[in-house]
């Protein structure tokens, strides 16, 4: 006989539920529906939140999103993402690194540097991308002392020792650093590694082989660089880096007319002022190349005229270029027709309205050298009015005021002090002030300024002579004699080298 | 013939009075229903009839007891009321009082003839309550005083009507218990916990809706804005309001115990959910629509909307619970007879005991002896002090100050009970080490520990120290946050007379000590030991926060301390002008 399963419990439960339901007040259910719905919704949302917003999920999402914001330049949002992450995972190096990048982006530079310092310590291996970042910061510094370069090198080597996504970048930087430090073999090693990923480095290799004396290889590399930049320029017509790189390669290959035409096209298409500076640089390089090529004294005058023509063209595109104006001024020191021509070039700048404080400065210095005090003072005053921010203008005006007859020492002192407030350790200005104080009879103060300027100007016979004078006034004859002797020695050396 | 107005049930509890004036009753007494009269009349079997003069004396004692009771309770209403009113989450208490009256009134009818409770139990209750009230008033402790009053009320109610009345009035007493402040700052800790929970849940919601944000303590950071949950969630205070309202409702409606507990739990849950949604919504609105709902009428509107929705959900939950179990009347409900509630002869209760007015009168006198006991306030009026602080402006410090550059000056007003102070004047500085903020926050009632505030904004306190520099007590905190952020905080306090304020080790015993000493000096001529106030009433806090990306060196800390002392002195002098 088959056994039938019976489930009296289920039947009873059904009966109970039915009884229970029949005794309920439906109005209460209706009134309770909002709470029930809210409860269900809360439970569902809480459940989804717990699964979708687990810590691992949050970290992953914020990491992705934060990097997307970084790449797009939305640093505020990137910072929020990485601030969240750093609370969840305070020891993750990749998070700290990204936080530092975001902080840098919003202007919290000090915080970025501090985080990177912890990630990339000086004395041991840290997080490789942080070492690379640190090295790049050091290499961007305006004053690259040997200590700075050593530190940058150490960071780059540590970066290459670690896990780095962008190894060619680090290798390229290291190669350039070695090139700058004249360690050509090491530079060649790293540049050759990096050039496959970064064809821009062909130009660096060209300089390297030029220094090594391998002219053929240098030329080949230069042509590779030119070819790369040409292709880049053709594909991205408005990208300055491409066009400037092409011009640099052309300059290296001494195809100056190519460089000029490339840059002129860029200026015409975009009007970007960076092309003006580059053009000026090209013309100056062209003028230098002419000087290197023509050694015959018979062609000297024509050479200088040709140089002047090029510099004049440069001035037309970049009249405010400091180096350019100083180069033209240097030409006014050459006697004869060339000097006159150089002066004419400078004056024509003023006439055409392209003149600047620098132009007046050059003319003023030229007039002073020729003994024309009034003319010098006039030009320098104009230069100061047009470019009061240029330290060299204030310094030279102060020098002229201190040396003219009669001298205006108070005004000279006030002028040079304005420069020293901004650059307190500028040696030329310290020397100028020392001279003014000496003329005012304040010998001890003058001595202090001369001493401050001496390390940078120790090869200048003038400062030694001035030191000799001030020591003499202070009654320190031994030191005075020593400095006088040094001044004579330097003068003799200068005159024998010029012969 | 003397009439006895005591009614007994056969076999019921022993009625007790404990005094010689009252006849002793036992269960063997016979009752006989008088025709036409619902009351039962007891024929005394012993010569325990009181003469008319004694009844009159009993009434007089009752009146005295009531007067003494009022004299004891009334000062406490002022003390506790002031204490509660200073805290926004307790400002619903006047409505709670109303609720107490409603609940008591709803439970009063139909209790029939009440019998006084056992005298021993009443005695124990008063024996606990009276000393507690005495100590509480001596130490000016609203918490202990509230507890003492509650015990006295329970004993008193029991003494009047026994367990039957106590059971009937228990819900009202539970509501009254809400008004007893929580001890040891539990209410503040609860608020802080709620802020943390709200922040956490809000963060999860924002993650769910893809709103990028960072969380630091109770601060939610979104690009362009820092949202402090204290600001967003003054609705945290609605937690207490909703709970009080729910409790009143369930007690008034006589819900079963389990129903009460479930509904209270649900109410707490709805409040937290509502606050989390509110905080998340504020952040979402700012980020998505650039709508600033943190201030003004919009903020109020959002707050009210969340409050009323929460209340609605509580009522709906109540209906749902009732639907799930339409339980019969709670067994805890007092047995309701058809007869109207009648109190026993009050002269037969504790009100008619002669020691009661004597003891309560002594307590009232003792309390009265403390009136005006506070240190005579010969200093500046507090209002003047506060007005002077309100006058602080940007020019109190020069733009360039000892190598620091003043960047900004901010005036801020907050809720009265804000842990950051109701008012602040803050000067922002750029300095070589980073940036600094010097602020004057006022007024606090006493020394205020800033560690709580900084923890709530996400700082970790590495080290806390205390120094005294030329009589100026300075607390120093060294803090940090992830991501290379360091904070160095110095803070000090001074009162309205410009005197420095130090942290008191144990406020309760300190106050008790000082006030008892003054009491003795006033009434017994002993030498007053301390002329110091037992607690400062108007205190200004000066703090300096230096934020940097690396820890300050010892030399930098020294400079910061020097700068801070000068700043504190400037602010102190300006407050005294």
Contact B313 A35 (CB under 8 A): yes
Task: Report the residue of chain A nearest B213, measured CA to CA.
Answer: A80
What per-residue confidence (pLDDT) applies to B41?
Answer: 39
Per-residue pLDDT tens over the stretch B187-216: 777 877 888 888 889 999 998 888 889 988
B317 to chain A: which residues are within 8 Å by CB? 32, 35
Residues of A with CB under 8 A from a CB of B: 23-25, 28-29, 31-36, 38, 42, 45, 48-50, 52-53, 58, 61-62, 65, 76-77, 79-84, 86-87, 90, 96, 99, 108, 110-111, 113-115, 118
Nearest to A115 by CA among A58, A124, A106, A127: A127
Domain limits for position B140: 53-181+341-368
B46 is a domain residue: no
A387: Cα separation from own chain's centroid: 23
A488: Cα within 13 Å, side-chain hemisphere: 6
Instruction: Compare all CA atoms of chain B with the CA of A110 and give the residue at the minimum distance.
Output: B549
- How many angstroms separate the CA of residue A34 from the nearest CA in chain B? 6
Inspect the interface and report whether the beta carbons of A76 and B316 lie closer than 8 Å.
no
Tell me if B205 and A110 make a contact (CB, 8 A cut-off): no
Q: Give A38-44 contacts, CB < 8 A, sequence gap 24+.
A: A38/B270, A38/B313, A38/B316, A42/B273
Residue of B214, B320, B326 lying closest to A83 (CB–CB): B214
DSSP H stretches of helix in A387-476:
391-403, 409-422, 427-439, 443-457, 461-473
CA B249 to chain A, closest CA, distance in angstroms equals: 16
The CATH classification of domain A419-499, taken from the options 1.25.40.10, 1.10.3720.10, 1.10.8.10, 3.40.50.200: 1.25.40.10
For an interface test with A, the pick among B317, B483, B485 (most A C-beta atoms closer than 10 Å) comes out as B483
Cis check for the bond before B340: say yes or no (omega within 30 of 0): no
B313 touches chain A (CB under 8 A): yes
Predicted local distance difference test score (pLDDT) of residue B527: 64
Torsion of CA A27, A28, A30, A35, to 10 degrees: 170
Chain A CA closest to residue B458: A87
Minimal Cβ distance to A114: which of B213, B317, B550: B550
Bond preceding residue A406 cis, omega within 30 of 0: yes
3-state SS, residue A244: helix
For the structural domain made of A281-292+300-385, what CATH number should be given?
A: 1.25.40
B175 and B208 fall within a common domain: no
Instruction: Please tell me what DSSP assigns to residue B443.
Output: E
Best residue of A23, A46, A52, A80 to probe chain B, by most B CBs closer than 10 Å: A80
The pLDDT, as a whole number, for residue B24 is 40
Question: How many angstroms away from the CA of A434 is the closest CA of chain B?
Answer: 29
What radius of gyration, in Å, describes the C-alpha atoms of chain B? 30
Residues B213, B142 within the same domain: no
> Which tokens sit at A210?
């030029």
Nearest to A226 by CA among A268, A218, A182: A218
Asked if B211 and B281 count as a contact pair (C-beta separation under 8 A), the reply is no
The answer as to whether B17 is a domain residue is no
Contacts of A49 in chain B (CB under 8 A): 204-205, 207-208
Across the strands, what pairs with B492?
A: B542
Q: Produce one character per residue of A232-269: b if its CB has 16 or more CB atoms within 10 Å, e if not.
A: bbeeeeeebebbbbbbbbbbbbbbbebbbebbeebbee
User: How many helices and strands, by DSSP H and E, does chain A display?
Assistant: 26, 0
Is A49 within 8 Å of B205 when comparing Cβ atoms?
yes
Q: Closest to A53 (Cβ–Cβ): which among B208, B320, B482?
A: B208
Q: Report residues of chain A scoring pLDDT below 50.
A: 1-5
With helix as H, strand as E and coil as C, how does B305-352 read?
HHHHHHHHHHHHHHHHHHHHCCCCCCCCCCCCCCCCCECCCHHHCHHH
Q: Are residues B358 and B233 in the same domain?
A: no
Q: Which of residues 418-477 of B touch A (CB under 8 A)?
A: 434, 458
Give the number of domains in chain B: 3
Rounded to the nearest angstrom, the minimum Cα separation between B433 and chain A is: 10
Is B255 an interface residue toward A (CB < 8 Å)?
no
Comparing CB atoms, the residue among A49, A83, A96 nearest residue B221 is: A83
Chain B: residue nearest A93 by CA?
A: B483
In chain A, which residues have their Cβ closer than 8 Å to the Cβ of B224? 76
Residues B195 and B167 in one domain: no
Q: Which residue of B has its CA nearest to A76?
A: B223
Interface test with A, best of B268, B306, B482, B550 (most A CBs within 10 A): B482
Measure the CA–CA gap between B500 and B514, rounded to whole angstroms. Answer: 19
Please give the pLDDT value at position B447.
Answer: 81
Its sign, for the CA torsion B542, B546, B552, B558, is negative
Please name the residue of chain B whose CA is at the shortest distance from the CA of residue A77: B223
The domain limits of chain A are 212-272, 281-292+300-385, 419-499
B409 & B492 share domain = yes
Q: Lay out the sheet containing B485-495: strands in order across.
A: B400-401, B404-413, B423-431, B434-444, B539-548, B485-495, B472-481, B460-469
Residue of A23, A80, A96 lying closest to B222 (CB–CB): A80
Q: Considering the domain boundaries, does residue B428 fall inside one?
A: yes
CA distance B568 to chain A (A): 29
Identify whether B345 is part of a domain.
Answer: yes
Assess B323–A contact: CB distance below 8 Å, yes or no: yes
Give the global pTM: 0.71
CB proximity B549 to A under 8 Å: yes
User: Do residue B213 and residue A115 have CB atoms under 8 angstroms apart?
Assistant: no
Q: Does B208 touch chain A (CB under 8 A)?
A: yes
Please indicate whether the domains covering A281-292+300-385 and A419-499 agree at the CATH topology level. yes
| Nearest-CA distance A86 → chain B (Å) | 6
Owner of token pair 């002047």: A308
Cβ within 8 Å of residue B9, ≥6 positions away:
B31
Query: How many CB pairs below 8 A link A and B?
Result: 109
User: Could you tell me which chain A residue has the CA closest to the CA of B216?
Assistant: A87
This model of the complex carries an ipTM of 0.74
For residue B212, the chain A residues in CB contact (below 8 A) are 62, 65, 77, 80-81, 84
**H/E run at residue B153:** helix B142-177
Q: Does B205 touch chain A (CB under 8 A)?
A: yes
In a domain, B523, yes or no: no
Q: Do B221 and A114 touch (CB under 8 A)?
A: no
CATH code for the domain in which residue B424 is found: 3.40.1000
* B370 DSSP 8-state letter: T
Calpha distance A266→A324 (Å, rounded): 21
Give the list of residues 6+ apart from residue B91 with CB closer than 8 angstroms, or none.
Answer: B84, B85
B-chain CB neighbours of A35 within 8 Å are: 266, 313, 316-317, 319-320
| B213 in the same domain as B141 | no
Weakly modelled stretches of chain B, pLDDT under 70:
1-55, 86-89, 228-237, 327-338, 374-379, 415-417, 504-507, 527-537
Distance in Å, alpha carbon of B430 to nearest chain A alpha carbon? 13
């Amino acid at each position: 006989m088959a056994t039938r399963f019976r489930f009296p419990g289920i039947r009873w439960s059904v009966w109970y539920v039915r009884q229970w339901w029949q005794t309920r007040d439906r109005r209460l259910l209706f009134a309770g529906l909002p709470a029930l719905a809210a409860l269900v919704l809360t439970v569902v949302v809480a459940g989804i939140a717990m699964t979708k917003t687990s810590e691992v999920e949050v970290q992953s999402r914020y990491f992705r999103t934060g990097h997307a914001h970084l790449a797009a330049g939305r640093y505020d949002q990137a910072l929020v993402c990485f601030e969240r992450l750093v609370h969840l995972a305070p020891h993750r190096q990749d998070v700290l690194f990204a936080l530092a990048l975001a902080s840098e982006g919003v202007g919290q530079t000090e915080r970025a540097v501090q985080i990177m310092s912890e990630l990339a310590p000086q004395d041991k291996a840290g997080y490789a991308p942080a070492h690379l970042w640190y090295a790049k910061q050091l290499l961007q510094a305006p004053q690259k002392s040997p200590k700075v370069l050593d530190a940058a090198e150490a960071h780059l080597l540590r970066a290459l020792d670690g896990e780095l996504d962008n190894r060619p970048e680090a290798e390229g930087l290291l190669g350039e650093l070695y090139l700058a430090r004249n360690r050509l073999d090491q530079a060649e090693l790293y540049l050759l590694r990096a050039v496959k990923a970064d064809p821009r480095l062909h130009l660096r290799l060209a300089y390297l082989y030029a220094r090594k004396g391998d002219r053929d290889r240098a030329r080949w590399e230069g042509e590779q660089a030119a070819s790369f930049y040409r292709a880049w320029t053709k594909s991205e017509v408005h990208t300055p880096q491409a066009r400037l790189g092409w011009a640099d390669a052309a300059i290296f290959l001494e195809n100056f007319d190519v460089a000029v035409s490339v840059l002129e096209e860029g200026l015409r298409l975009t009007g970007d002022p960076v092309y003006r500076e580059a053009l000026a640089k090209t013309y100056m390089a062209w003028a230098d190349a002419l000087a290197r090529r023509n050694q015959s004294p018979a062609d000297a005058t024509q050479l200088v005229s040709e140089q002047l023509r090029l510099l004049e063209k440069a001035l037309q595109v970049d009249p405010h270029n400091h180096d350019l104006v100083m180069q033209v001024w240097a030409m006014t020191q050459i006697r004869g027709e060339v000097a006159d021509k150089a002066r004419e070039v400078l004056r024509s700048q003023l006439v055409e309205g392209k003149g600047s404080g620098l132009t007046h400065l050059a003319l003023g210095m030229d007039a002073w050298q020729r003994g024309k005090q009034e003319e010098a003072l006039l030009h320098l005053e104009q230069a100061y009015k047009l470019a009061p921010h240029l330290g060299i203008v204030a310094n030279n005006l102060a020098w002229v005021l201190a040396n003219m007859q009669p001298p205006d020492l108070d005004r000279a002192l006030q002028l040079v002090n304005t420069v020293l407030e901004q650059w307190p350790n500028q040696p030329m200005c310290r020397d100028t002030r020392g001279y003014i104080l000496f003329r005012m009879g304040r010998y001890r103060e003058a001595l202090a300024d001369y001493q401050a300027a001496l390390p940078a100007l120790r090869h200048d016979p003038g400062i030694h002579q001035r030191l000799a004078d001030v020591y003499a006034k202070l009654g320190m004859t031994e030191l005075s004699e020593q400095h006088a002797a040094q001044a004579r020695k330097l003068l003799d050396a200068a005159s024998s080298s010029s012969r | 013939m003397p009439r006895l107005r005591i009614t007994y049930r056969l076999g019921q509890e022993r009625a007790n009075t404990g005094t010689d004036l009252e006849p002793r009753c036992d269960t063997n007494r016979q009752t006989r229903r008088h025709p036409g009269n619902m009351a039962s009349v007891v024929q005394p079997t012993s010569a325990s009839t009181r003469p008319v003069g004694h009844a009159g004396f009993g009434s007089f004692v009752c009146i005295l007891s009531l007067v003494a009771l009022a004299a004891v309770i009334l000062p406490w209403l002022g003390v506790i009321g002031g204490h509660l009113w200073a805290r926004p989450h307790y400002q619903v208490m006047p409505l709670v009082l109303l609720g107490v009256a409603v609940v008591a009134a709803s439970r009063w009818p139909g209790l029939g003839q009440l019998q006084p409770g056992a005298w021993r139990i009443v005695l124990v209750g008063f024996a606990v309550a009276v000393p507690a009230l005495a100590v509480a008033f001596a130490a000016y402790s609203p918490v202990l005083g509230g507890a003492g009053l509650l015990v006295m009320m329970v004993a008193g109610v029991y003494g009047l009507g026994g367990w039957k009345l106590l059971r009937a009035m228990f819900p009202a007493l539970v509501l009254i218990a809400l008004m007893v402040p929580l001890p040891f700052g539990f209410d503040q800790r609860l608020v802080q916990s709620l802020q943390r929970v709200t922040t956490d849940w809000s963060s999860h919601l924002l993650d769910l809706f893809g709103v990028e944000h960072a969380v630091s303590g109770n601060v939610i950071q979104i690009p362009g804005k820092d949202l402090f949950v204290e600001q967003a969630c003054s609705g945290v205070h609605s937690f207490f309001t909703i709970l009080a309202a729910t409790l009143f409702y369930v007690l008034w409606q006589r819900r079963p115990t389990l129903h009460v507990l479930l509904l209270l739990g649900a109410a707490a849950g709805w409040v937290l959910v509502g606050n989390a949604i509110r905080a998340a919504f504020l952040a979402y609105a700012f980020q998505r629509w650039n709508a600033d709902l943190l201030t003004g009428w919009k903020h109020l509107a959002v707050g009210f909307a969340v409050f009323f929705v929460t209340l609605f959900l509580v009522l709906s939950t109540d209906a749902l619970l009732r639907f799930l179990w339409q339980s019969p009347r709670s067994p805890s409900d007092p047995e309701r007879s058809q007869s109207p509630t009648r109190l026993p002869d009050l002269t037969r209760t504790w009100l008619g005991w002669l020691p009661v007015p004597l003891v309560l009168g002594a307590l009232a006198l003792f309390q009265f002896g403390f009136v005006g006991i506070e240190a005579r306030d010969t200093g500046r009026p507090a209002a003047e002090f506060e007005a002077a602080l309100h006058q602080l402006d940007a020019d109190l410090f020069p733009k360039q100050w000892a190598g620091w550059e003043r960047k900004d000056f901010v005036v801020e007003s907050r809720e009265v009970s804000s842990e950051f102070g109701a008012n602040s004047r803050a000067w922002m500085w750029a300095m070589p080490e980073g940036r600094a903020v010097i602020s004057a926050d006022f007024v606090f009632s006493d020394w205020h520990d800033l560690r709580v505030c900084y923890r709530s904004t996400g700082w970790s306190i590495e080290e806390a120290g205390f120094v005294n520099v030329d009589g100026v007590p300075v607390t120093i905190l060294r803090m940090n946050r992830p991501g290379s952020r360091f904070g160095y905080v110095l803070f000090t306090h001074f009162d309205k007379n410009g005197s420095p304020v130090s942290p008191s080790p144990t406020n309760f015993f300190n106050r008790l000590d000082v006030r008892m000493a003054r009491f003795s000096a006033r009434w017994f001529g002993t030498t007053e030991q301390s002329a110091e106030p037992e607690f400062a009433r108007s205190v200004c806090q000066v703090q300096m926060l230096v934020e940097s990306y690396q820890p300050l060196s010892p030399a930098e800390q020294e400079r910061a301390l020097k700068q801070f002392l000068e700043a504190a002195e400037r602010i102190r002098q300006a407050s005294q002008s």
